[in-house]
Amino acid sequence: MPKTYKAIASQTLTGTETSVTFSSIPQTYTDLVFILNPIGTSSGANYLARFNSDTGANYDGIRLTANGSTVASARYTITGGIQIHDYLINGTSQVPVIICQIMNYSNTTTYKQLYARGNTASNWVQSSVGVWKSTSAITSVTFLSSSSNFQSGSSFSLYGIKAA
Amino acid sequence: MATFIKIASVEVGSGGAATIDFTSIPQDYTDLVILASLRDDRAAAYANSTFISFNGNTANFSSRVAYGSGTVSGSFSLARYAGTNVSEQATASIFSNSQLYISNYTSSNYKSYSIESVTENNGSDGYQYFGAGLWSDTSAITSIGLTLDTGSGGSVLKQYSTATLYGILKA
């Protein structure tokens, strides 16, 4: 069977952390997929993906959110990252599933786009697309929150997909 | 080592089936993915909800879903919601397309899952759904059932409905 969906790295926290970084990402795949189950230390904070430690105003995006009764769409500009979910939960009873896909991450010609689905059944669901306005290949990805840390038990997994 | 492994696949035969079941799920993976193509026999509608159960349990489920049809959009909450089935008002031979991502299915936390489901009825009707589901139970998931919302009419998943269960193993 072709081995085209390969586990690259994973981190499960054993203590509280302010951020989680995947560095030295191999440049031998076509696309990347991150699966995140973050447990916040406070509720309500949003959640970002940052590329190659770029903390500048080099990110833009839009999001579609729904809370079980209303749907909303908005454009955002956040310095230092792409928003991938807008509502962390404090506690293990409702850990969100966040799926992030980055296509063609290693090319040095185009800006890089990230597509994320962040889902917390108790609060809302969010579909986001963001752009990192850099033609650099992505060699590291950092996940962090604007106003929360990640609790022990938070898990983050990286997979590589290789085109035929 | 491959990390996206097919565990089991079910195709509904003639006469239909009330549920598609995956039982005795190995506990060796990190996450589970279900890819499904479904149609049911609800007569008075184009589409119907897919309902899910874990370990034969239909209680303690919740969800939050966003949807769009090309003309309208909205959001709803519906316990056990796991995507959409195409129903009998749709053009023949059309089935839905769904993905469920169930992360950390063996953990002792409550079980969260991501829902993505779409249908397109030959230019006349179409829906996209994406959502979050939660099973408020700390048990490891050992079996999964997919069925239809019989409260809205209909009783079986139609012949040629399929669902495949995959295991994903982290590094």
Secondary structure (DSSP) of B6-29: EEEEEE--TT-BS-EEE-S--S--
Name beta bridge partners: B62.
B134
Residue B59 contacts by C-beta under 8 Å, 6 or more apart in sequence?
Answer: none
Predicted pLDDT at B147: 94
Give the minimum alpha-carbon distance from B43 to chain A in angstroms, rounded to a whole number. 27
Q: CB–CB of A67 and B1 under 8 A?
A: no
Tell me the C-alpha distance between A86 and A21, whole Å: 19
Considering chain B, what percentage of its residues have pLDDT values greater than 90?
78
Contact A159, A126 (CB under 8 A): no
- State mean pLDDT over A154-158: 95
Tell me the C-alpha distance between B141 and B101, whole Å: 13
Lateral strand order in the sheet of B144-148? B20-22, B144-148, B47-54, B81-86
Picking from B117, B45, B132, the residue whose alpha carbon sits closest to that of residue B83 is: B117
pLDDT mean across residues, chain A = 89
**How many residue pairs bridge chain A and chain B with CB atoms within 8 Å of each other?**
122
Contact B141, B55 (CB under 8 A): yes
Give the minimum alpha-carbon distance from A56 to chain B in angstroms, rounded to a whole number. 31
Say if residue B99's pLDDT is above 80: yes
Predicted pLDDT at A44: 67
Q: CB–CB of B73 and A71 under 8 A?
A: yes
Digit-coded pLDDT (tens) for A24-47: 999 999 999 999 999 888 776 688
Predicted pLDDT at A75: 87
Predicted pLDDT at A137: 97
Residue type, A31: D
Say if residue A1's pLDDT is above 50: no
Q: Which residues of A touch B168 (CB under 8 A)?
A: 5, 35, 159
Give the residue from chain B lying closest to A7, CA to CA. B171
* Predicted complex: ipTM over 0.90: no
Tell me the C-alpha distance between B134 and A23, whole Å: 32
Digit-coded pLDDT (tens) for A105-140: 999 999 999 999 988 887 789 999 999 999 999 999
**How is residue B114 written in tokens?**
């991501």
Picking from A130, A74, A143, the residue whose alpha carbon sits closest to that of residue A102 is: A130
Digit-coded pLDDT (tens) for B14-40: 999 999 999 999 999 999 999 999 999
B:92-111 residues touching chain A, CB 8 A cutoff: 101, 103-104, 109-110
Residue B59 touches chain A, beta carbons under 8 Å? no
Contact B162, B36 (CB under 8 A): yes
Digit-coded pLDDT (tens) for B59-91: 999 999 999 988 889 999 999 999 999 999 888
Pick the residue of A64, A85, A93, A97 with the most B CBs within 10 A to test the interface with B by mutation.
Answer: A97
Question: Which of A54-68, B13-27, B37-51, B111-125 has the largest mean confidence?
Answer: B13-27
Predicted pLDDT at A2: 46
Of A96, A125, A158, the CB nearest to B65: A125
Secondary structure (DSSP) of A35-65: EEE--BSSSS--EEEEETT--SS-EEEEEEE
Q: CB–CB of A66 and B64 under 8 A?
A: yes
Q: How many CB atoms are closer than 10 A to CB A13? A: 17
